[in-house]
Amino acid sequence: MTDAPTGGQGRTLLDRFFQLAENRSSIRTEVLAGVTTYLAMAYIIFVNPAILSGAGMDFGAVFVATCLAAAISTLIMGLYANYPVALAPGMGLNAYFVFVAVPELGGDWRVALGCVFLSGVLFLALSLSPLREWLINSIPRSLKSAIATGIGFFLALIGLKNAGIVVADPATLVTMGKLTQPALFAAAGFVVLAALQARRVPGAIIISILAVTATAIALGYQPFQGIASAPPSLAPTFLQMDLSGAIKAGFVTIVFVFLLVDILDTAGTLVSVADRANMLDAEGRLPRLRKAMVADSSASIIGAMLGTSTTTSYIESAAGVDAGGRTGLTAVVVGLLFIASLFLAPLAEVVPIYATAPALLFVACLMARSLADIAWDDVTEAVPAVVMALAIPLTFSIASGIGIGILTYVAVKVLAGRPREVNGAVLIIAVAFAIKLALQ
C-alpha cells in the first residue's frame, strides 16, 4: 500500500473522489485511521445483540443486523458526506429500546422497531429542512449535557445489573450483590479496560470483552462454540417492524425520545469529530452538514428495516481522526470491516453478558464528561440539569428523565423571574410531557 500522490495529474481515483490531497491525507493514513476507528467501536457487535436479545429478538439475526446497519450507514457517510465518521446502533438507545420502549408497547419488539423507523423518517425530514438547526440550537446546552450524562448513568446501572454487582432489594430498591464469578470477572474486565485506555491501546474495549470471555472459557465457566462461520439468517428481524402497531400504540412519546436523542447525539458527535479534524469553518460551522445529517437519519431507517435499534454516529470516530483520518475513505474502511465481521457470529454468541458489562460502565464514564459543560454558576441551569441526569437512571426511562428535567427547567426559570430564557421548543416539550403525566 502506498500513499496517494498529492500532485495534480498523477492523482488516483480515490484521491480525487475523497479529496485526499486537499485534506492533506493519504490512502495509507485513511486506511490506518479506519482500522483504528473500527477497533474502538467493534464492541457493539457483541454488546448490541446481547442487549436486544433481552427483548426476545433472535441473537443471530440482531448480530447480522448490527453489522449490516453499521456497514451500510458508515459507507453512506463516507461516500455521500465524505466524513471520517462511523455509525452503528447507539448505546443508550438500545437500552431504552429494550427496557422502556418494548415494555410500554406491550412487549412487542416489532412495534418498537416501527417507532425507530418512524423516528428515522422524521429525522430525515428535519435534516432536509431548516428545522434541524432550530431544534438543535433550542435545547439549552446544560440540558444537552444532562441528557448525555443521564444516558451514561442509565448504561452504568444496566452494566452493574448485568454483572450482578447491583441487585434489587425490597427495602432499599437496590443493593450490592454477592461477589460471584460474573461480578468478579466484570470487575476485573473493567479495571483492565481502564488501564488499557490509559495506555492508549487501540481497541481497549473489545480487548477487555475478549479477555473476560477467554478467561471464562479457560476456567470452564463458558462453553466455546468457535470463532468464525457463515453469517446467521437475518430473516427473524428483517422488515419485521410493525408501523401500524406503532401508530395504534400511541407512539408519540417513544418516537420523540428516539428522535431527540438521535439528533442531539448526532450533532454533538459531528461537531466534536469535525473540531478534532480541524474541519470547522471560521464561524465554527460544519461543512456539508446537511449531507452528514441525511446520512445519519437514513441510518436509523436502514437499521430498523434490518432489525436493530437506532443507528447513529459514534464518538469513537475521534480515535480514527486522532490517527490522521480526514475524509470519507476512513469511514469506507470501517464499513468494509463491519462487513467482514459478519463471519464472527460464533464468537459473538459465546460472549457472556457479564463480559460486556465493563463496556457499558466505561462508556458511562466517558459520557459523564458532559457534566463539565453544565453552567454550575447558574442555579437555573445547573439544578434542572442535575435533576434530569439523575431522573433518567432512577426512573429507568430516558423519556421520563428528559421530561422531568425539562419541566423543572421551565418551572425554575419562570419562578426565578427569567421566563424569557425559555424558548419555544423547550416550552412545547414541557407542555407535552405535562399533558402525558396528567393522562397517566
Tens digit of each residue's pLDDT (9 = 90 or more) over 223-281 = 887 787 888 899 999 998 888 878 775 567 778 778 877 776 777 677 667 766 677 66
pLDDT at 174 over 50: yes
CA distance 78 to 81: 6
Residue type, 274: A
User: Position of cell 441525511?
Assistant: 294
Question: Residue range 19-44: average pLDDT?
Answer: 82
pLDDT at 46 over 50: yes
CA distance 32 to 84: 12
Average pLDDT, the chain: 83
DSSP output for 115-138 = HHHHHHHHHHHHHTSTHHHHHHHH
The H or E element that residue 346 is part of is helix 345-350
Name the more confident of 54 and 360.
Answer: 54
Least confident of 24-28, 93-97, 178-182, 271-275: 271-275
Instruction: Report the percent of the chain where pLDDT is more than 90.
Output: 23
Question: Residue range 114-130: average pLDDT?
Answer: 86
The H or E element that residue 67 is part of is helix 59-76
DSSP state of 2: -
pLDDT at 158: 80
Query: 381 by DSSP, 3-state: which?
Result: helix
> Of 231, 281, 260, which Cα lies nearest the Cα of 96?
260
Instruction: Report the percent of the chain where pLDDT is more than 70.
Output: 90
User: Is the alpha carbon torsion for 125, 130, 133, 136 positive or negative?
Assistant: negative
pLDDT at 268: 65
CB 225 within 8 A of CB 349: yes
CB 12 within 8 A of CB 27: yes
- In tens, the pLDDT along 6-26 reads 445 556 887 788 877 777 878
Strand stretches in 66-196, DSSP E: 87-89, 166-169, 173-176
- Split at pLDDT 50, 70, 90, the class of 2 is very low
CA distance 430 to 409: 9
- In tens, the pLDDT along 123-156 reads 888 888 877 666 666 778 788 788 778 878 887 8
Question: Residue range 376-386: average pLDDT?
Answer: 93
- Classify strands 173-176 and 166-169 as parallel, antiparallel or unpaired: antiparallel
Angle at the Cα of 116 from the Cα atoms of 110 and 121, rounded to 5 degrees:
125
> Of 299, 258, 315, which Cα lies nearest the Cα of 94?
258
Backbone angles phi, psi at 201, to 5 degrees: -80, 125
Count the neighbouring beta carbons within 10 Å of the beta carbon of residue 432: 15
Question: Residue range 368-379: average pLDDT?
Answer: 87
pLDDT at 439 over 70: no
The H or E element that residue 376 is part of is none
- In tens, the pLDDT along 189-202 reads 999 999 998 998 87
- Split at pLDDT 50, 70, 90, the class of 48 is very high
DSSP state of 422: S
pLDDT at 5: 46
C-alpha distance across the termini of the chain, in Å: 62
Name the more confident of 86 and 429.
Answer: 86
CA distances from 418 to 10, 110, 111, 421 (A): 62, 44, 41, 6
Q: Which of 32-46, 211-225, 245-259 has the highest mean pLDDT?
A: 211-225
CB 369 within 8 A of CB 198: no
- Split at pLDDT 50, 70, 90, the class of 304 is very high
CA distance 212 to 150: 27
CB 310 within 8 A of CB 66: no
Question: Residue range 78-104: average pLDDT?
Answer: 87
DSSP state of 284: S
Count the neighbouring beta carbons within 10 Å of the beta carbon of residue 133: 15
